[in-house]
């Protein structure tokens, strides 16, 4: 059996045109001597280049031979330096890769120290760092290799809590770029408003409805019962009020950007709401969201009766809608993302491949994979690995 030696060739210094071509030309010249490239990585920050190539040699190539090949290609010039280090071949059994995405209004040394200390404490290593966004929030994505994923997740969750960052840990793999279904709650998630509260203002029962809403969202009373009680207070309202309320709805900052980006990249957005089809359907048509599940109001003689029609979209109904939409668009549950803020979103968040609690109550955060505490809904895109640059290009 022929043994081999592994070298790490690192080229660094001021970036200039042609450095990569020169390095690989030098390594190509050694191909006949049994050298093979096994890995390549590069990063450039403000014109400072670090380009690494891991090469394997059948013990016919030495460090001096590689140095001579680099010198012949004039790589070491204009401030560029090259180092060649013999390294231990990587053990492919040293753990699987995870993606660690974290964001905050501003990420500084304290937050980065916490994240990297947690990675080290779990016996994991960071293989790659990508700065996904610098505005309106700071966001980084790390590729981390480790064998104890539970220990890593627990350590990172503690850091997120202590340093005030939003953080998600996901498995790496080709599924990341596959088609995803992204299901959002409407009230207080896609929308800044609670539709039923706006309807209550029209009938003069805002205080009563708001009190019931708060109890339902915090999980203190059953959502279906709370919905029936609130809708009963709307009896007698003219149906024209639905159009008035729709005109007052305000999208959450970043909502249009999120939907537009998902649609143009081939992802499927959907809305599952405890609100009402009569208000939401025209808005969803405007936003080109084809998948909507919501409750229906009974209307007789152009007035609301105070009753609902059909099956109620409650906590269980939202999870069922997510599964139904996933089947309709041909996406496995592992490639679904659910975003919500209330207790009636918990089953949906738990069923999805990635459940995101968006500015949610504590009881909801406990059941979600991750949370967003920033006010921008398009921050969801970062958990899909989509950078700010890609968002703006789209």
Dig out the tokens for 152 from the structure.
């890593």
C-alpha distances (whole Å) from 183 to each of 90, 192, 268, 273 are 40, 17, 8, 10
Dig out the tokens for 41 from the structure.
């990585």
95 falls in which pLDDT band (50, 70, 90)? Answer: low
Pick from 208-212, 270-274, 324-328, 344-348: least confident? 208-212
Query: Which tens digit of pLDDT belongs to each residue from 136-193?
Result: 999 999 999 988 889 999 999 999 999 999 999 998 876 777 879 999 999 999 999 9
Mean pLDDT: which of 164-173, 319-328, 359-368 is highest?
319-328
Residue 218 reports pLDDT greater than 90: no
CATH architecture of 5-87: 2-Layer Sandwich (3.30)
pLDDT confidence of residue 102: 97
Domains in the chain: boundaries:
5-87, 96-172, 181-393
Dig out the tokens for 229 from the structure.
């009680």
Dig out the tokens for 46 from the structure.
């403000």
pLDDT confidence of residue 171: 87
- As annotated, the active-site residues are 185, 187
CATH C-level class of 181-393? alpha beta
Fold designation for 96-172:
Alpha-Beta Plaits (3.30.70)
pLDDT confidence of residue 313: 96
pLDDT confidence of residue 94: 54
CB 282 within 8 A of CB 202: no
Residue 86 reports pLDDT greater than 80: yes
pLDDT confidence of residue 91: 57
The mean pLDDT of the chain is 92
pLDDT confidence of residue 84: 93
96-172 and 181-393 in the same fold: no
Pick from 125-134, 170-179, 319-328: least confident? 170-179
pLDDT confidence of residue 355: 97
CB 251 within 8 A of CB 269: no
Pick from 12-16, 151-155, 211-215, 263-267: least confident? 211-215
- If you average pLDDT over residues 47-74, what whole number do you get? 87
- If you average pLDDT over residues 327-356, what whole number do you get? 95
Max Cα separation, the chain? 91
Q: Could you give phi then psi for residue 45, rounded to 5 degrees?
A: -125, 115
Polymer length in residues for the chain: 394
Residue 213 reports pLDDT greater than 60: yes
pTM: 0.85
- For the chain, first and last CA: distance in Å? 52
Taking phi first (over 0 means left), then psi (-120 to 50 degrees means alpha), and beta for anything else, what does residue 65 get?
alpha
- If you average pLDDT over residues 356-376, what whole number do you get? 95
């Amino acid at each position: 059996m022929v043994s081999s030696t592994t070298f790490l060739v690192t080229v660094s210094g001021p970036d200039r045109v042609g450095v990569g071509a020169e390095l690989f030309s030098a390594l190509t010249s050694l191909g006949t001597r049994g050298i093979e490239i096994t890995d390549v990585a590069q990063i450039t920050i403000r014109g400072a280049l670090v380009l690494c190539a891991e090469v394997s040699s059948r013990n016919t190539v030495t460090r001096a031979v590689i140095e001579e090949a680099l010198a012949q290609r004039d790589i070491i010039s204009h401030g560029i330096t090259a180092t060649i280090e013999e390294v231990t071949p990587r053990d492919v059994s040293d753990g699987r890769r995870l993606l660690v995405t974290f964001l905050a209004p501003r990420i500084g040394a304290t937050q980065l120290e916490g994240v990297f200390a947690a990675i080290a404490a779990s016996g994991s290593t960071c293989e790659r760092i990508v700065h996904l966004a610098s505005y309106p929030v700071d966001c980084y994505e790390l590729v981390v290799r480790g064998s104890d994923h539970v220990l890593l997740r627990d350590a990172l969750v503690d850091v997120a809590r202590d340093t005030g960052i939003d953080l998600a840990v996901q498995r790496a793999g080709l599924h990341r770029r596959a088609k995803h279904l992204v299901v959002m709650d409407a009230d207080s998630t896609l929308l800044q408003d609670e539709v039923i509260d706006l309807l209550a203002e029209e009938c003069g029962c805002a205080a009563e409805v708001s009190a019931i809403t708060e109890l339902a969202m915090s999980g203190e009373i059953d959502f279906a019962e709370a919905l029936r009680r609130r809708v009963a207070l709307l009896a007698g309202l003219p149906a024209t009020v639905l159009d008035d309320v729709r005109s007052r709805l305000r999208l959450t900052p970043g909502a249009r950007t999120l939907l537009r980006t998902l649609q143009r990249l081939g992802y499927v957005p959907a809305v599952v709401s405890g609100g009402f089809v009569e208000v939401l359907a025209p808005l969803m048509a405007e936003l080109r969201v084809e998948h909507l599940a919501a409750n229906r109001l009974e209307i007789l003689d152009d007035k609301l009766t105070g009753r609902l029609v059909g099956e109620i979209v409650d906590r269980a109904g939202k999870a069922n809608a997510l599964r139904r939409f996933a089947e309709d668009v041909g996406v496995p549950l592992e490639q679904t993302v659910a975003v919500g803020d209330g207790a009636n979103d918990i089953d949906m968040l738990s069923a999805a491949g990635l459940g995101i609690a968006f500015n949610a109550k504590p009881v909801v955060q406990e059941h979600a994979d991750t949370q967003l505490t920033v006010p921008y809904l398009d921050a969801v895109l970062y958990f899909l690995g989509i950078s700010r640059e890609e968002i703006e290009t789209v």
